[in-house]
Structure 1
Amino acid sequence: MPAIWQRPRISFTSFAGRCLDRYVSLSVGLLLALNTQGVSPEKVVLIGDSVTDVQAALAAGAMSIGYANKPARPSGRGGQA
């Protein structure tokens, strides 16, 4: 009987964003890290705490999860976020 559902292979690796000795765009740094591990961007989910983290993931062709690690800032519309 063929398997209807197969468990996905999941592994976790983390990289520090400040490991390069010069400034490069975040997507270049992400692609370098992925290339080092032999992983294609389509198989990656980047978890970031800034808009630029999400933009870098999208520019590199990876999925992204935004992590809000700070309270919302007032939007200037009556103090509501």
Structure 2
Amino acid sequence: DSEQDSYICPNQQVLTYSTTDRKGYRSYKSNPETCSACPLLAQCTRSKNRQKVITRHVWEDHKEKVRQNRLSVSGKTLYKK
């Protein structure tokens, strides 16, 4: 959810922004109390503390656009050169 700066797990629980490390990775974490009772826990995470953590680089949106451009028909033609 880009408007709320959060992620939503398969059980519709919100993973909120936690911190950004020095390498530029943003961490989003779930509530371990909510996750411990979740029926989808085994599919979501194997963490011992029962907390889902997503890390995403601050430039990830730009990296995805570049990746899509590279994999397009014109991008593949240019990449061969």
Fold-level match, TM-score > 0.5?
A: no
Q: Which has the higher helix share?
A: 2
Q: Which has the higher strand share?
A: 2
Output the TM-score relative to the length of structure 2: 0.26
